[in-house]
Amino acid sequence: MGQRIHFVVDPQGWCCMGLIIFVWLYNTIFIPKVILFPHYEEGNISIVAVLCYYFCSLFCIASLFRASVADPGKLPENPKIPVTELEHWELCNKCNMMRPKRSHHCSRCGHCVRRMDHHCPWINNCVGEDNHWLFLQLCFYTQILSSYTLILDFCHYYYFLPLKKENWDVFVFRHELALLRISAFMGLIILGGISRLFYTQLMGIFTDTTSIEKMSNCCEDISRPRKPWQQTFSEVFGTHWKILWFIPFRQRQPLRVPYHFANHV
């Protein structure tokens, strides 16, 4: 069964996601054109460096689009609740629907989401049980791509040999300094913000606690892991194969875990 498409009608989210796509397009177009291809042609770098940049760029945009349109764990209108699990469900006081414990009602999306972590305007979607793994991949590959871009910006001026500038009349070479300064500025801003977010997400998985649960202070001993980290990460990514945790081009297969846990909102 394929993954359900989830589209949120939110102009603010569209603007935030459009800004992210603009930054990605800017660096994917100008960094190869100004740095990678010219230095490759002059023998300063290998083709591996060029391919690695496009590889990171592809995985970054793939995880972004998949996280933005993936169903985060929206509950059906009339869920079939097993009798044995009934005690682990509760009534939402906002939409008056039954939901598993640890679910949360998103006021922006207008429905409850299983094990909701937060609503992210940058992907215009909730981060919940079914797309949390894609959001983590997005944070990871954004850090890699931003770091790679900053390293190339630095090496272009302070490490690589100067280019011959045979095409000095071309727009990108006449405005090379401005283009790379903009790239470096955006890279620093995104790397700083996404690194902090990625750290909080990892700590949440290690402690088996969502961001909403931390803010609600409803969890006891949230700094103490309840499960081995391999188990919590496997439940988020839907597989015990660690190499698959880094692949966005696959379908997540939920592990057989109950709806309920020790804590809930």
**Nearest of 17, 67, 57, 124 to residue 252 by alpha carbon:** 67
**DSSP classification of residue 160:** S
Q: Is 52 a catalytic residue?
A: no
Per-residue buried b or exposed e for 19-33, using 16+ beta carbons within 10 Å of the residue's own CB: ebeebbeebbebbbe
Phi, psi values for residue 125, rounded to 5°: -165, 160
**DSSP classification of residue 5:** B
**DSSP classification of residue 74:** B
Instruction: Given the residues 120, 126, 139, 219, select the one marked as catalytic.
Output: 120
Can you tell me the distance from the alpha carbon of 219 to that of 231, in angstroms, rounded to the nearest whole number?
19
Overall size of the chain counted in residues: 265
Sign of CA dihedral 172, 174, 177, 178: negative
Can you tell me the distance from the alpha carbon of 256 to that of 14, in angstroms, rounded to the nearest whole number?
35
- Residues with a known catalytic role: 120
